[in-house]
């Protein structure tokens, strides 16, 4: 069994063939697909997909940093209410974090939202799913203050350097989420991961985004997580079966599956 720990299968990109995409993933051995929420509008589509595939598509609740704006408190309140109504189904708080790539306007609001959702995770004993782009320093500053034995999670779509990888792993309760970027010709990630033990990694696609080679330029989907696994097998010089075993166990433990 493979686990795609991060996939937006509820997004509009899959409106024409969502059921087929999920079944294609299951046929490929991807039996669990974890669904990170984005904003208030994505709550219902995410839950609908979970209800259609309750054993396979598992929801997370959170406010993506790219969705943080001046209404941050109201949005968090709505998402928290939805979380409380579906607590037993929720596997993580996510995706949350900081993103200063496109816009620094709402830096303070992003910091507030990140701290607030970390509090939810500690209270509910759930892992967090972290999105970070052009904001490692700002994000690490908050985690340095908030991290304790109750906090676990994953650095989703990790593409940082070895120093950043080690900093993240030194928190103690975190994994690195590895996706399609690993397969890109210009990616430095293979060299970085060669110095990181497989026990620290989980697989993901971030579909419909960031498709692995040979699907670049096309829509990503959960079945393509096998291409990420195959690249890891090459990097570590181990069998695909061993990558499957270790990364699946990592995900089961992290998300309490």
* pLDDT the model gives residue 87: 94
Q: What is the pLDDT along the chain (257 residues), one digit of tens a residue?
A: 999 999 999 999 999 999 999 999 999 999 999 999 999 999 999 999 999 999 999 999 999 999 999 999 999 999 999 999 999 999 999 999 999 998 899 999 999 999 999 999 999 999 999 999 999 999 999 999 999 999 999 999 999 999 999 999 999 999 999 999 999 999 999 999 999 999 999 999 999 999 999 999 999 999 999 999 999 999 999 999 999 999 999 999 999 99
Evaluate if pTM is beyond 0.95: yes
* pLDDT the model gives residue 78: 98
* pLDDT the model gives residue 102: 86
SS3 state at 160? coil
* pLDDT the model gives residue 103: 86
What is the longest distance spanned by two Cα atoms in the chain? 49
Q: Which residues have C-beta within 8 Å of that of residue 139, sequence separation ≥ 6?
A: 97, 98, 114, 130, 132
Contact 208, 4 (CB under 8 A): no
Q: Which domains are seen in the chain, by residue range?
A: 2-255 (3.20.20.140)
Cα-based distances in Å from 135 to 152, 181, 231, 245, 247: 19, 18, 27, 32, 27
Paired tokens of 252: 């089961």
């Amino acid at each position: 069994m493979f686990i795609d720990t991060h996939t937006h299968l509820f997004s509009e990109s899959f409106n024409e063939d969502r059921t087929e995409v999920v079944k294609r993933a299951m046929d490929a051995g991807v039996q669990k697909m974890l669904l990170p929420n984005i904003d208030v509008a994505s709550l219902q589509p995410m839950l609908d997909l979970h209800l259609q595939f309750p054993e396979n598509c598992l929801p997370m609740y959170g406010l993506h940093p790219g969705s943080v704006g001046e209404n941050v408190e109201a949005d968090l309140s709505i998402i928290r209410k939805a979380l409380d109504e579906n607590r037993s189904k929720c596997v993580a708080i996510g995706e949350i974090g900081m993103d200063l790539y496109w816009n620094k306007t709402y830096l303070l609001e992003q910091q507030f939202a990140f701290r607030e959702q970390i509090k939810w995770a500690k209270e509910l004993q759930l892992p967090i799913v972290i999105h970070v782009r052009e904001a490692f320093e700002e994000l690490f500053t908050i985690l340095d203050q908030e991290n304790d034995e109750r906090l676990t999670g994953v650095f989703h779509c990790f593409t940082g350097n070895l120093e950043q990888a080690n900093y993240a792993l030194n928190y103690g309760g975190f994994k690195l989420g590895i996706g399609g970027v690993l397969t890109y010709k210009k990616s430095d990630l293979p060299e970085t991961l060669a110095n990181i033990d497989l026990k620290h990694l989980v697989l993901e696609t971030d579909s419909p985004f960031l498709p692995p080679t040979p699907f670049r330029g096309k829509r990503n989907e959960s079945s393509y997580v096998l291409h990420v696994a195959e690249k890891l097998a090459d990097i570590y010089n181990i069998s695909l079966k061993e990558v499957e075993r270790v990364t699946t166990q990592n995900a089961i433990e992290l998300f309490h599956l």
